Amino acid sequence: MSLALDRHGWLQPQRKVRRARSPNQDARPAGSEPILLVIHNISLPPGVFGGTEVADLFQNRLDVSTHPWLARLRDLRVSAHFFVRRDGGVVQFVASTQRAWHAGVSTFEGRERCNDFSIGIELEGTDTVPYTDAQYQTLAELTTVLRARHALKAVRGHEHIAPGRKTDPGPSFDWERYGREAGWFRRQLPPV
């Protein structure tokens, strides 16, 4: 897969890249360029992969009656810029130049409201199920494309910017592998 961003912050559509615009986005505050990449995980219902529920959630059309666990998401309005499926396919919900609603209450290097200055990538997974080789490959390529376009200076997990509230991407995420494959310096990765 060869990924490329257009001038508006959208990946060029191709066989493994799909656009599904989310209404859960807005403009970044003036002067707030993305400097942080945030890695998340999601599966809906938890531990179930391959369905439409994540895209449906990010597009405010999730049918919460299909599974009892989903009822807790009834009024949730969230999104991420990208969703990387188990097979390495990518769904983009928000242009990288816009603010997606992925981080919630969060802090990075003393700065609050990480949504203002970050790009969020959701991996289809859980804290405890290993991510796939295809996901690491796509994540590394997507990271390279985003770093070429935006002045990203660091990457963190949701767990690092919202400790005690969030746990993803969790212990199943191999930060060393990802850092090596995506070309991050050790100082740009979460502290060990």
Per residue in 86-114, pLDDT (tens digit) is: 999 999 999 999 999 999 999 999 999 99
* Backbone angles phi and psi of 66, in degrees to 5: -80, -15
Buried b (16+ CB within 10 A) or exposed e, 154-188: bbbbbbbbbeeebbbbbeebebeebbebbebeeeb
Residues 162, 119: Cα–Cα separation, whole Å? 15
Residue 26 lies in a domain: yes
pTM score, whole prediction = 0.97
Give me the catalytic one of 53, 122, 124, 159: 122
* pLDDT for res 1: 56
Q: Does 122 participate in catalysis according to the annotation?
A: yes
Alpha helix ranges (H) inside the chain: 53-58, 133-149, 158-161, 175-182
Does any domain span residue 191?
no
Task: Give me the CATH number covering residue 71.
Answer: 3.40.80.10
Adjacent-strand bridge partners of 25: 100
Place of tokens 């997974």: 125
The answer to the question of residue 192 being in a domain is no
How many CB atoms neighbour CB 153 within 10 A? 14
Domain interval for residue 54: 17-185
What pLDDT tens digit does each residue of the chain (192 aa) get? 589 999 999 999 788 999 999 999 999 999 999 999 999 999 999 999 999 999 999 999 999 999 999 999 999 999 999 999 999 999 999 999 999 999 999 999 999 999 999 999 999 999 999 999 999 999 999 999 999 999 999 999 999 999 999 999 999 999 999 999 999 999 999 997
CA distance 152 to 33: 9
**Residue 95 placed within a domain:** yes
The number of domains in the chain is 1
Any domain includes 165: yes
String of DSSP letters for 115-155: GGGEEEEEEES-SSSPPPHHHHHHHHHHHHHHHHHS---EE
Asked if 192 and 157 touch (Cβ cutoff 8 Å), the reply is: no
Q: Alpha carbon 190 to chain centroid distance? A: 16
